[in-house]
Structure 1
Amino acid sequence: MSPSAQAAVLSVSGIGKTYAQPVLSDITLTLNRGEVLALTGENGAGKSTLSKIIGGLVTPTTGHMQFNGQDYQPGSRTQAEALGVRMVMQELNLLPTLTVAENLFLHNLPSQGGWINRKQLRKAAIEAMAQVGLDAIDPDTLVGSLGIGHQQMVEIARNLIGDCHVLILDEPTAMLTAREVEMLFEQITRLQARGVAIIYISHRLEELARVAQRIAVLRDGKLVCAEPMANYNSEQLVTLMVGRELGEQIDLGPRTIGGPALTVKGLTRSDKVRDVSFEVRAGEIYGISGLIGAGRTELLRLIFGADLADSGTVALGSPAKVVSIRSPVDAVGHGIALITEDRKGEGLLLTQSISANIALGNMPEISGGGVVNSRDETALAKRQIDAMRIRSSSPAQLVSELSGGNQQKVVIGRWLERDCQVMLFDEPTRGIDVGAKFDIYALLGELTRQGKALVVVSSD
């Protein structure tokens, strides 16, 4: 910790936020210069809401804040950034078709005579990139050609331009490789040395122990702990987060393994998936591991018909019967479901309600003559809200307002209504808290007891 770490740069007092119901209640915290404050808790505990209040995206219902000893009431993210409070969100805010330099200075491009001054832009970009250890990357490189880890460094570099006093990192390692995680941690150490205060939001407790000096735990919108990180081990933190002790293992219970339900032979697509063959039996979980970029997601997309294979077959049932899957519609028709790793981009309509999202895969059951029966739609959603323990105010609540774990439960609930016999899970527990992970693991066990065949890609 830097010598100036004892000086508070930010304090929040009595902060609360109410929508249809309270999501934050009486939160009081301080953030010191040069320290990393870990912010953790279950999905829906209020972490994102609190960070958005600090970052100017949400106005609190109660309480007040101070920044550098002065009253702090940002009316927008722009106002917060102007004062030096910056946020790096889980979904990076970069334009892939622009260069690194253009992304860094998108809202303040140096110009001369009405034209972009490319020489000045390049020089400024090199200086900004040097702050985050990106000296080896050409600033004229298109952002879309960079790996996720380097893209994240570009996002951090952009937020450090000008005076940055507080940096909020929201689940910063969710999409990173082990090497990229180390690169991020090195950058955090550099920022601390400069006196930048960091709020590090994550469910990965082993990471928090490495980078944070203090930890704040939220549960059900309330602050239950704000103490030195060294005071707690992982098991104690999990208990604080969920309010109960969790076992080390999930008991899948008695299962009957049936005959083959899914048989894949020689599945190939260009250089992404090469000659993959395997068999999954009813009541079985078939796990697929590997590094990011190894072809795991691409394999599931081939089985589901989201991409077309160059060669190979997919067969269902016992005896195995080869089926033609040219699209996701074909896959669903054959009883195959895919729970995608990108729930926000591919799995959900964020601007629609829970009811509408669960109904998406079940239109024949709740509609007639091209008209959706709203009563049936609501009843369907209520069943899955109860079955999946989705934290929500009502079936009409927008999916965008839910936490990551509850959004994931909505995606899974949609497919449970269809009673698919083969279910493909791509990183089902990515970016969700420990309690929600155990809920998902328990659900996988229940599905196998029902005789379903599961294929699970996971980095956990």
Structure 2
Amino acid sequence: MSTATHLEPPPSRHTHVAAPLLEISGIRKTFPGVVALDKVQFALKAGTVHALMGENGAGKSTLMKIIAGVYIPDQGEIRLKGQPVVLRSPIDALSQGIAMIHQELNLMPHMTVAENVWITREPKNRFGFVDHAALKAQTETLFARLNIDIDPLAEIQTLSVAARQMVEIAKAVSWNSDVLIMDEPTSALTEKEVDHLFRIIRQLREQGKGIIYITHKMNELFEIADEFSVFRDGQYIATCASSEVTRDDIIKMMVGREITQMFPKETVPIGDVVLSVKNLGLKGVFEDVSFDIRAGEILGLAGLVGSGRSNVAETLFGVTPATSGQISIRGQTVNVDKPATAMHHGMAFLTEDRKDTGCFLCLDIQTNTEMAVLNQRYVNALGFVQGAQLARDATEMSQKLRVKTPDMQETIQNLSGGNQQKVLVARWLLTQPSILILDEPTRGIDVGAKAEIHRLVSELAGQGVAILMISSEMPEVLGMSDRVAVMHQGRITGILDRSEASQVSVMDLASR
């Protein structure tokens, strides 16, 4: 946008006010069977970015939802600018100057960008109706200030996940809040978009805003945060200046142990071709995509957001059937016209968006875990489901993946994002797949859980499973893959062996 203000980072970081802008003390919150927070404390200074760190289930999101008025604490006190406050709803929090950008986006897909940003605050004309011209104009002014180039009149459902994330950020900033909570704000952003977000954050910090930043990405912590606090198992562990600790120090505080090997890639026998893709295309989205995956091989699929990686995965699984090319499984050409066909041929698919295309949020963990196998392995000759065996296997898989839950009857929406992801992994592992497609398998997952999933993926490769792994995290792609296929604008621009794949070579192919 030509009217955009150029936002440069300030030459130095400094705290505008020494006293806490927001102070939490003695907060306790319980859910049925779970103590989510146990007498925790937290303090945010004005003009600082304070990162909140911890494994999934550590209590970070619960505390933030208490500060944002979503949950009411059982015990404890919240003080804002030195004064006690009681926050009984998100509207309460917004009225007190506290806004939150949730990890799971909460936009209305059939409304426009402008309508989503200013919902309940739309400008009205003299007849009391929404003034759409004024609505568009004030959205353009806000976007210009934040250097966001998105059409205010576009419907949310037409935008990429990354663009929706920027709309959420703009919506929160539009409230002009003193406290801004960002929960995994960069999970769907490219490096360029992350840099853009950081410029916005630095601008807000210079205006004296206090920003609580939740992330599992260590490099972001050291780049943007002034302080960080660590939570573990619902308890407060420590607060430190980001300049005083190392990455290993943080990990040890988070998990209570050392993660010695984040990417436990093992050398395993590579067998025959299991999945072969020749000149695959989806009209208007991608074309001429070709690659093979062998038994025991992990093929990483890299590329910038919007390159077509997830579309290829959905086509392979029959969600959006191909319009050209062919898919062969163990040498046999297969018309993968729907997911049931893919599953019949031993394929499993962990989708990118666990909220919209993965979890059945109102159902329990047991039901979510069973979903993919009810018409397969656990149905006897008479057509009845072998419920007892299925329940035992689902529980065993949940325990293997260390899903933090009081029991399998817990509603999945009550779990943290990372634990929801583990349930979805368990769902597909129960199908005993020979081909496993993983789209962003560790998005929004803490460092300890990432190591567990990486180890599990390596074990599956060792058992002869052919794995296609899509990831936006370069260390994950390079650390886990035997080969890396790179996409740009709907085409494969190159396939690199593990020995020749590097951040430079991958990014070169991703930007061609």
Separation (CA, whole Å) in 1 of partners of 2:439 and 2:133: 44
Match of 1:133 among 147, 153, 169: 147
- Equivalent residues of 1:354, 1:381 under 8 A apart: no
Residue number in structure 1 paired with 2:227? 214
Residue number in structure 1 paired with 2:100? 87
- Equivalent residues of 1:129, 1:154 under 8 A apart: no
Separation (CA, whole Å) in 2 of partners of 1:141 and 1:234: 41
- Equivalent residues of 2:150, 2:163 under 8 A apart: no
Match of 1:196 among 193, 196, 209: 209
- Equivalent residues of 1:355, 1:380 under 8 A apart: no
Match of 2:363 among 343, 352, 362: 352
SS in 2 for 1:199: strand
Separation (CA, whole Å) in 2 of partners of 1:283 and 1:250: 16
Structure 1 letter corresponding to 2:103: Q
Separation (CA, whole Å) in 2 of partners of 1:351 and 1:99: 27
- How do residues 237-386 of structure 1 correspond to structure 2 at under 5 angstroms? 237-248=250-261, 250-253=263-266, 255-317=268-330, 320-364=331-375, 365-366=377-378, 374-386=387-399
Structure 1 letter corresponding to 2:392: A
- Equivalent residues of 1:2, 1:195 under 8 A apart: no
CA gap 1:292/1:137 in 2 versus in 1, 3 angstroms: closer
The answer on 1:116 being equivalent to 2:130 is yes
Instruction: Provide Cα deviations, 1:117-171, integer angstroms capped at 9, x if missing partner.
Output: 234334433443344234x655444444555444333323322334411000000
Alpha-carbon shift at residue 51 of structure 1 (Å):
0.5
Structure 2 letter corresponding to 1:256: P
- Equivalent residues of 1:359, 1:380 under 8 A apart: no
Residue number in structure 1 paired with 2:187? 174
Structure 1 letter corresponding to 2:65: K
Structure 2 letter corresponding to 1:298: N
Instruction: Provide Cα deviations, 1:308-366, integer angstroms capped at 9, x if missing partner.
Output: 1122111122xx11122110000001111111111221111111111001110111344
With normalisation by structure 2, the TM-score equals 0.84
CA gap 1:422/1:120 in 2 versus in 1, 3 angstroms: closer
With normalisation by structure 1, the TM-score equals 0.94
Alpha-carbon shift at residue 30 of structure 1 (Å):
0.9
Gaps of 5+ in 2: 1-12, 474-512
Residue number in structure 1 paired with 2:166? 153
Separation (CA, whole Å) in 2 of partners of 1:46 and 1:397: 17
The answer on 1:8 being equivalent to 2:20 is yes
Match of 1:431 among 430, 438, 444: 444
Instruction: Pick which of 151-160 and 186-195 moved more.
Output: 151-160
Residue number in structure 2 paired with 1:104? 117
Alpha-carbon shift at residue 61 of structure 1 (Å):
2.1
Structure 1 letter corresponding to 2:72: T
Structure 2 letter corresponding to 1:237: I
Structure 1 letter corresponding to 2:167: V
Alpha-carbon shift at residue 64 of structure 1 (Å):
1.3
Aligned residues: 457
Separation (CA, whole Å) in 2 of partners of 1:133 and 1:25: 41
- Equivalent residues of 2:29, 2:38 under 8 A apart: yes
Separation (CA, whole Å) in 2 of partners of 1:251 and 1:236: 21
Structure 2 letter corresponding to 1:311: S
Cα RMSD (Å): 2.0
Match of 1:389 among 402, 409, 422: 402
Residue number in structure 1 paired with 2:435? 422
Q: Identity of counterpart residues, as a percentage?
A: 37
Residue number in structure 2 paired with 1:236? 249
Alpha-carbon shift at residue 82 of structure 1 (Å):
0.9
Alpha-carbon shift at residue 448 of structure 1 (Å):
1.3
- Equivalent residues of 2:94, 2:175 under 8 A apart: no
Alpha-carbon shift at residue 194 of structure 1 (Å):
1.4
Alpha-carbon shift at residue 442 of structure 1 (Å):
0.3
Separation (CA, whole Å) in 1 of partners of 2:48 and 2:298: 43
SS in 1 for 2:108: coil
Separation (CA, whole Å) in 2 of partners of 1:14 and 1:297: 44
Instruction: Pick which of 102-111 and 347-356 moved more.
Output: 102-111
Residue number in structure 1 paired with 2:29? 17
Alpha-carbon shift at residue 92 of structure 1 (Å):
2.5
Separation (CA, whole Å) in 2 of partners of 1:354 and 1:411: 9
Instruction: Pick which of 150-159 and 418-427 moved more.
Output: 150-159
Gaps of 5+ in 1: none
Instruction: Provide Cα deviations, 1:70-95, integer angstroms capped at 9, x if missing partner.
Output: 21221111111111111011222223
SS in 1 for 2:260: coil
